């Protein structure tokens, strides 16, 4: 089984999980953990340990984090390394919703192929929005 874990500071991880659920349905293999404001590092570690406990060494894990250099991702990866073979784990920073949707769509693809597709999609979706104000296409009678 492939697990998808959202990791963040604050509420971002739970928000990503909630938004993804709205779009692709609730899935047992989508998990989230967050380093909350006021939380100490030991409590966060305990939360990560409890979250990854059911994952076994034959499973694959795709970790999506808010920041590639953040302590939530570093702690999660450290604990995953103690729990399983990291050859079955990939981590991506800078998570966004298109990246998460692509992760689910690529669930049956090899991990590295899925990561490439995820990053490509995420990058394509980061753009400046421009409202089309051109009225020349209006229906003039």
Residue 139, domain member (yes or no)? no
Give the pLDDT confidence score for residue 133 in this predicted structure: 83
Give the pLDDT confidence score for residue 127 in this predicted structure: 92
Rounded CA gap, 121 and 96, in Å? 10
Give the pLDDT confidence score for residue 138 in this predicted structure: 58
Q: In which domain, by residue range, is 44 found?
A: 2-126
Give the pLDDT means over successive 10-residue stretches in the chain (141 positions).
98 98 97 98 98 97 98 98 97 96 97 96 92 70 59
Prediction pTM value: 0.90
- Characterize 95-125 residue by residue with b for buried, 16 or more Cβ atoms within 10 angstroms of its Cβ, and e for exposed: bbebbbbbbbebeebebeebbebbeebbeee
- Characterize 58-77 residue by residue with b for buried, 16 or more Cβ atoms within 10 angstroms of its Cβ, and e for exposed: eebbbbbbbbeebebbebbb
Residue 132, domain member (yes or no)? no
Give the pLDDT confidence score for residue 137 in this predicted structure: 58
Residue 133, domain member (yes or no)? no
Rounded CA gap, 103 and 62, in Å? 8
Residue 141, domain member (yes or no)? no
Residue 86: which CATH number? 3.40.50.510
Residue 7 bridge partners (DSSP): 33, 65
Count the domains in the chain.
Answer: 1
Give the pLDDT confidence score for residue 134 in this predicted structure: 76
Task: Kindly give, in sequence order, each residue whose CB lies less than 8 Å from that of residue 126, ignoring residues fewer than 6 positions away.
Answer: 96
């Amino acid at each position: 089984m492939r697990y998808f874990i959202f990791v963040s500071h604050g509420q971002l991880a739970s928000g990503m999980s909630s938004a993804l659920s709205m779009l692709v349905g609730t899935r047992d293999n989508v998990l989230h953990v967050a380093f909350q404001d006021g939380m100490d590092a030991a409590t966060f570690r305990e939360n990560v340990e409890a979250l990854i406990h059911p994952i076994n060494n034959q499973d694959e894990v795709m970790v999506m984090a808010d920041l590639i250099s953040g302590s939530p991702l570093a702690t999660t990866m450290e604990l995953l390394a103690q729990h399983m073979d990291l050859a079955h784990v990939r981590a991506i920073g800078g998570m966004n919703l298109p990246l998460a949707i692509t992760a689910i769509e690529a669930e049956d693809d090899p991990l590295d192929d899925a990561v490439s597709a995820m990053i490509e999609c995420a990058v394509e979706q980061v753009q400046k929005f421009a409202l089309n104000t051109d009225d020349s296409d209006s229906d003039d009678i």
